[in-house]
Structure 1
Amino acid sequence: MDEITEIILSHFREVSSIPRCSKNEDKIAMWLKGWALNHGFSVKFDSVNNIVIGVPGSKGCEYLPSIVIQGHMDMVCEKTQESEHDFSKDPIIPDVDGEWLRAQGTTLGADNGIAIVIALSLAEDKSLRHPPLELLFTVDEETGLTGANALTPDFISGEILLNVDSEDEGIFTVGCAGGLNTKIEMPLVFSSLPEKMLSFNLMVDGLAGGHSGVDIHEGRANANKLIAGALSLIAGKMDLRIQDINGGSAHNAIPRYAQATVAVPADRQDELSAIVSEYESKLRSEYSEIESGISIRIEESPSSLSPPISPSSDLQNEGADSETTNRIIGLLQDLPHGIASMSKDVEGLVETSSNLATVNIKGRDKETGKDEDGKLIIVSSQRSSVDSGLAVLTSSIEKTAKKYGAAYEHNSGYPPWQPDMSSPLLKRCMEVYSSVFDEKAKIEVIHAGLECAVIGSKYENIDMISFGPTIKNPHSPDECLYIPSIRKIWDFMVVLLESFTEKEEKKKGGKGKKKGKAKKGTSRK
């Protein structure tokens, strides 16, 4: 591993020791403030805790227009069922696995911690030649682009923005989908269980999960849809009462697990086991090319769940009545998940999709068993690069909710980022990449959401591009970072930033530096 990569990964380990789940970025923001002040850089915060660090230009370049390097502070906090990691206090410990960096049973946080540490490393290297830099780090990108939405016109001044939040080195992202989340609430009716019914936990896990934008085209299984299918099969064979249900953890992650506490007649236990076993075998066959670890099983004791699915799992003698149970199953089965349409303009690009993201029951008092406020809460996340596609899909979800007597509400969403193929920044980046690596970079529009979409709507004249080192399986415990790609991003950014100083050098009669590949193991000193 070369020296530059070691420096960047050293910063990454330090950042990984700081809790920074979405909406809990205070500690990382304060750490960044301390780092900036220790290096003599200016720093300012806004009303939501976005931070911008001002790095002066190198000698002779102090008065050039500034370049914004942008990433987000928060991360998706996902872990395996077996992990005891507490994201509120436990450090993430990155492990080197050959050419990959991974975490132990949790998301790694390279999305988007790697942007932070590359930016800091660039700012620290006094041998580099660059214009003034504005290191812009936003909050809460993963759960609603809150930080980007709160940016004000005076927070940054640069009209060139480098977003380091894409996940395939060698690809420049110039556009992305817009998105909208829908929260669905269905009132529930609970009653005492009929006599001679036993409670069981129905568990679905072992799925790959992944990013609901980046990975949606792969057809990975959704645990919420699988458990709905299992519940439907059981209800078709015997009396079934749902006592509790919980699945998924984030709007932008394909659910990897789901679990339900259900009651069935005591004398049908063997039949229940057979139904679940047969369903598991069927799914393993159907998903054999995509999912290698599908597990669907039943367990007798609700107390054996880890973690407990919700306070209501302690209500052993109550469950949703028969009609309510059927409404829960029907709603979960009818809500869409996956690709709705493919782009007619860009080959292989998903145009519109939805993710049946999270399901749970809230509002029951485990001490009294009262359920007047008990509701099934579902979150669906829709994406589209076309406004009309997003509207049609969202309308379909609204109609499905109404069919089952459920209410719905939408968040403010975020717009698509429409590509500008004539962008001067794109042209410059393509030329620099070719000069550094003697190969041509690819250009793409992605189905995931990027803060560029929101930032572009707030800063009318800003020219933006997104890139980054290679990250696989973001938003899941299988997230990993391809270590050699870190150095490639570094070499590219060094030459790119230097290219913005060339006019200044020529103006002063200097010869300038010849663009070319940075020497291995150096910082172009």
Structure 2
Amino acid sequence: MIPMHPKTQQILEVFEEINKIPRRSKHEEQISTWLQEWGRSRGFEVKADSLNNVLIKVPATAGYENSPMLILQGHMDMVCEKCKDSVHDFSRDPIRCIYDGGWMQGDGTSIGADDGIALALGLVLAEAGKKGEIGHPPLELLFTVDEETGLTGARGLETGFFEGKILLNLDSEDEGIFVIGCAGGQNSQITLPVEWELLDFKEENSFGFFRLSVEGLEGGHSGTEINKQRANGIQLLSLALNKLRGKLGIENVRLVLLNGGSVHNAIPNTAEAFIALHREKLEKAEEAMSDIRHAFKAEYAKTDPGLILNFEEISREIIFEVAEDKILRETVSHVRVFSPETEEKLIELILGLPHGVYRMSETIHGLVETSNNLATVRTDGNEVIIISSQRSSSNLRLAEISGKGEAIAKLAGAWVEHEPGYPAWEPNLKSELLLKCKQVYTETFGKEPEIEVIHAGLECGIIGSAHEGMEMISFGPTIKDAHSPAERIFIPSIEKVWIFLENLFKTYC
């Protein structure tokens, strides 16, 4: 283990204690209870709400009694991922932390530094103040639940649960970078009713049954990687179908099923369709598919070099059923095909829905302001269900891009349901808190911090929108490969965050 600042060592010791307690998203009861007991055992005022959010109130140290209240905020839950050969059980087993040079990592598991390190930082700060080791204003340690899967802890905070108006969110993962804004988001479900027809396969050499698929795409995170212009499997598949229908005639290409994508926050890297194709058109179809394949590979040679467009005849024993995000296999009828009208509506709907970057920020260079991810499509009974995921750092633009998708869907005869979204945290480059943090950081470390707005969600967006007058900033130590078994935290960065906070507190004296 490398030599480290005494407070860094204490923070890591507390973090390892936290990692003995199960804290999977939506199962934070034990860590919530532990935090409450920790606070009360040290004489702090503690409260919790019905969701298990926890607030620990830490009185000001001598000389800071008239300083404004500061909130230190992080989330309790973690993403539980492990290697295939790991036998770790996140519901009961302590997470083993390994020191490797300047890093701490897990033993084949994620370690929940996102955001357990925020809990540890807050607790050590509170105890250090109580012992007279540092000075600080009155503090509120606000620890929320279920950030990773729904931001429901922050969303459920009731008015009056905390008092402060200055919030330091400790959930960023690059030391030296201050985050001052994030995108809001909303998912939309588009449902298109399907009209079916029966297609006669009895006649010899009439129709054959084929699978058309797009595979091998890069995909990626629908927020942070939406600007990389990667191919969307659902759109490419629909484009290939549309070109095939145009070459062969819509009466010779009949759609049976279309499915693609996996989850709302990933760019779809696969999609497949089952079609009935008139055998007299097979040679022409293969020529058309060859042309389309070459065009796709040329267009996406840099962004998606592994792109594969498959076109193959399969047995009439079509087997296909969708359950959540997995494809299970089961025999279904293969003589039922989409009506020409439904087929036309579906393909045009998919090709018409927005995907990718919609608008770049006018104030922050290189920032994606607004985007849409055409995420999944499923043929489900008598419906085709499409999920799209919208993000924007402007609440106005978020409503705009969601409305655009809804308008296009309605023109196709579909109906739309919008899930409850989370609001954007709109950046304020003139924030007094930001200016203070920049000055403290520069004076402490001899260089200016970077300022960022991210095209992803943070709890600041929800807290700021629900509690008027909040000043907020987000920062934290360096964490790499969060949400994976390779997750690790850079130990020297913890010391820098501690020293920064110590000096920031002094400015409120």
Other-structure match for 1:218? 228
Residue equivalent to 2:204 = none
In the other structure, the counterpart of 1:135 is 141
Cα 1:415/1:265, change in 2 over 3 Å: closer
Quote the offset at 1:429 in angstroms.
1.0
Structure 1 residues 443 and 403, CA gap change in structure 2 (3 angstroms): same
Counterpart of 2:474, as a letter, is: S
Secondary structure, counterpart of 1:314 in structure 2: strand
1:437 shift after superposition: 1.0
Which aligned pairs between 1:258-297 and structure 2 lie closer than 5 A?
Answer: 258-260=270-272, 262-264=274-276, 285-291=298-304, 294=307
Say if 1:19 and 1:90, in contact at 8 Å, map to a contact too: no
**Residue number in structure 1 paired with 2:121:** 118
User: What do the CA deviations read for 1:248-306 (whole angstroms, capped 9, x no partner)?
Assistant: 323xx233544446254597999999988886776555445445655666897988999
| Alignment partner, residue 353 of structure 2 | 335
Q: 2:469 maps to what in 1?
A: 461
1:378-457 alignment, distance < 5 Å: 378-457=386-465
CA shift in 2, pair 1:57/1:15, >3 Å: farther
- The residue number in structure 1 matching 2:185 is 179
Deviates more, 1:154-163 or 1:7-16: 7-16
SS at match of 1:43: strand
> 1:5 offset after TM fit, Å?
5.2
- 2:371 equivalent in structure 1: 353
- 8 Å contact 2:262–2:325 — kept in the other structure? no
AA of the residue aligned to 2:338: D
- After superposing the two structures, state which structure 1 stretch, 449-458 or 95-104, moved more: 95-104
Distance 1:259 1:131 in 2: 55
Tell me the TM-score normalised to structure 1 length: 0.74
Q: Distance in 2 between matches of 1:214 and 1:416?
A: 15
Q: CA 1:38/1:320 → structure 2, altered by over 3 Å: closer, same or farther? A: farther
Q: Name the SS of the counterpart of 1:339 in structure 2.
A: strand
| Match 2:166 to one of 160, 167, 173 | 160
d(CA) in 2 for partners of 1:277 and 1:123?
A: 66
Q: CA separation in 2, counterparts of 1:5 and 1:320?
A: 64
Question: What secondary structure, in the 3-state scheme, does the structure 1 residue paired with 2:435 have?
Answer: helix
The 3 A distance-change label for structure 1 pair 408 and 317 is same
1:254 to 2:258 alignment:
no
Q: Quote the offset at 1:353 in angstroms.
A: 1.5
Q: Report if the CA contact (8 A) 1:193-1:317 is conserved.
A: no
The C-alpha deviation readout for 1:33-81, integer Å capped at 9, x for no partner, is 455456554432223332223344456657854321112344567899x
Structure 1 residues 361 and 493: alpha-carbon distance in aligned structure 2, compared to 1, 3 A threshold: farther
- Sort the Cα spacing of 1:491 and 1:88 in 2 relative to 1 into closer, same or farther, 3 A: same
Q: Is contact 1:77–1:87 with CA below 8 Å preserved after alignment? A: no
Asked whether the 8 Å contact 2:358–2:371 carries over to 1, the reply is: yes
Aligned partners of 1:376, 1:106: CA distance in 2, in Å? 37
For residue 445 of structure 1, give the secondary structure of its aligned residue in structure 2.
Answer: strand
Supply the distance in 1 between the matched residues of 2:213 and 2:363 (Cα, whole angstroms): 43
Q: What residue number does 1:149 align with?
A: 155
Quote how far apart the aligned CAs of 1:180 are. 3.2
Q: 1:17 to 1:449 in 2, by over 3 A?
A: same
Instruction: Judge which range, 199-208 or 136-145, deviates more.
Output: 199-208
Give the C-alpha shift of residue 307 in structure 1. 9.2
Contact 2:171 2:475 in 1 (8 A): yes
**Residues 433, 52 of structure 1: alpha-carbon distance in 2 compared, 3 angstrom cutoff:** same
Partner SS state of residue 496, structure 2? helix
TM-score, normalising length from structure 2?
Answer: 0.76
Relative to structure 1, the CA distance from residue 229 to residue 344 in structure 2 (aligned partners, 3 Å threshold; closer, same or farther) is same
Tell me: CA distance 1:231–1:341, structure 2 relative to 1, closer, same or farther (3 Å). Answer: same
Cα distance in 1 for partners of 2:322, 2:254 equals: 23
User: Are residues 490 and 303 of structure 1, via their aligned partners in 2, closer, same or farther at CA, if it must alter by over 3 Å?
Assistant: farther
**Equivalent pairs: percent with the same residue?**
41
Whether the 8 Å CA contact 1:12–1:113 is kept in 2: the answer is no
Structure 2: gaps (5+ residues): 202-206
Letter in 2 for 1:119: G
User: Structure 1: how far apart are the matches of 2:300 and 2:278?
Assistant: 32
> In structure 2, what is the Cα distance between the partners aligned to 1:39 and 1:270?
79
Task: Provide the rounded CA distance (Å) in 2 between the counterparts of 1:279 and 1:87.
Answer: 47
- Which structure has the larger Rg over C-alpha atoms? 2
What is the distance in 1 between the residues matched to 2:163 and 2:50? Answer: 18
Q: Distance in 1 between matches of 2:59 and 2:230?
A: 46
Is residue 98–residue 104 contact of structure 2 (8 Å, CA) maintained in 1? yes
State the partner residue of 1:520.
Answer: none
What is the distance in 1 between the residues matched to 2:36 and 2:79? Answer: 22
Distance in 2 (CA, whole Å) between partners of 1:174 and 1:110 is 21
Tell me the C-alpha RMSD between the 2 structures. Answer: 4.6
1:48 equivalent in structure 2? 51
Distance across 2 between alignment mates of 1:35 and 1:306? 46
Counterpart Cα distance in 1 of 2:439 and 2:97: 34
Structure 1 position 425, deviation (Å): 2.0
Residues 314 and 47 of structure 1: CA distance in aligned 2, closer, same or farther (over 3 Å)? same
Unaligned 5+ segments in structure 1 are 363-370, 504-525
- Displacement of 1:170 in angstroms is 1.8
> Is this contact kept in 2: 1:259–1:309, CA < 8 A?
no
Q: How many residues align?
A: 486
Shift of 1:433: 0.6
Deviates most, 142-151 or 179-188: 142-151
Of 259, 279, 296, 1:245 maps to 259
Alignment of 1:7-156 (within 5 A): 8=11, 11=15, 14-15=18-19, 18-21=22-25, 23-36=26-39, 41-58=44-61, 65-74=68-77, 89=91, 110-125=113-128, 127-142=133-148, 144-156=150-162
- The answer to whether the Cα contact below 8 Å between 1:102 and 1:108 also exists between their aligned partners in 2 is yes
How far 1:162 sits from its partner (Å)? 0.1
Alignment check: 8 A CA contact 1:224 1:248 kept: no
Once residues 11 and 85 of structure 2 are traced to their aligned partners in structure 1, the CA distance between those partners, rounded to angstroms, is: 27
